[in-house]
Amino acid sequence: MLTLGGCSGQGAVTAEAQEFFPSSTAEDWVTYSDAIVNIHVKREFEIPPSSDELEADEGIIGRNVSATVKEVMWRQPSRSDLAMPRSLDLGAGGWVFHGSERKELRFSGSPRLEPGHDYLIALAYTTLHPTGSGTPAWIPIGGQAIVPNDSATIGKGEDIARPGALAKSLQGRPTTDLVDKIRETAPDPKAKGLLDEPASVRRTAVQAAS
């Protein structure tokens, strides 16, 4: 689900997206992610609007990016046997168009994933693929689980508004400090005994117990 907001000072449109999992805190990352990786975004691709949008002369042009997995920084111990791909294709906003006018579409609290930059990202291997297919895929647990990470420094690179609590608390610190924080953080106790299950199962258990 996508809710469009207003324009920023740069003429971009900010969107609020319904996310699969909480992603702001270290506990969220440990509870729902299966791996934390350092990626380098190589290039972006436009996704054409639908025929209905073209006929209406307004709608959304989607955007995907292709990224190389530079390093696996952390694995969920009970799911460390999952094979990690060498590259990832990720949805990353796009553009809102009306006639010949185009405005950049961004997701609130999440970086746009610009080519040439590095990011730290918490991933889950789950069937809740953004396309709605039933094939398991590696996806970000949420927008706040994607953190700029140029020069192995948290928050360095692309500038974003409203970073998650974990990223904000470690702004300007080495990547290793965030990884250390993850290693010393316990998962949500309501997911106890389920860390070898897919993230969707953990989320259902946490919601049911809350």
Q: What is the DSSP string of the chain?
A: -EEEEEE-TTSPEEEEE--SS--SSHHHHHHH-SEEEEEEEEEEEEEPPPHHHHHHTEEEEEEEEEEEEEEEEEE-GGGTTSPPPSEEEEEEEEEEEETTEEEEEEETTS----TT-EEEEEEEEES--TT--SS-EEEES-GGGEEE-GGGBTT-SS--SS--HHHHHTTTSBHHHHHHHHHTPPPPGGGTT-TTS-HHHHHHHHHHH-
| Confidence band for 128, pLDDT divided at 50, 70 and 90 | low
Check residue 135 and give its pLDDT: 77
Q: Is the pLDDT of residue 144 over 80?
A: yes
| Threshold 0.85, pTM exceeds | yes
Work out the percent of the chain whose per-residue pLDDT is above 90: 73
Check residue 2 and give its pLDDT: 44
Check residue 162 and give its pLDDT: 83
Check residue 15 and give its pLDDT: 81
Mean residue pLDDT of the chain comes to 89
Q: Is the pLDDT of residue 4 over 60?
A: no
For 44-67, write each residue's pLDDT tens digit: 999 999 999 999 999 999 999 999
Check residue 136 and give its pLDDT: 81
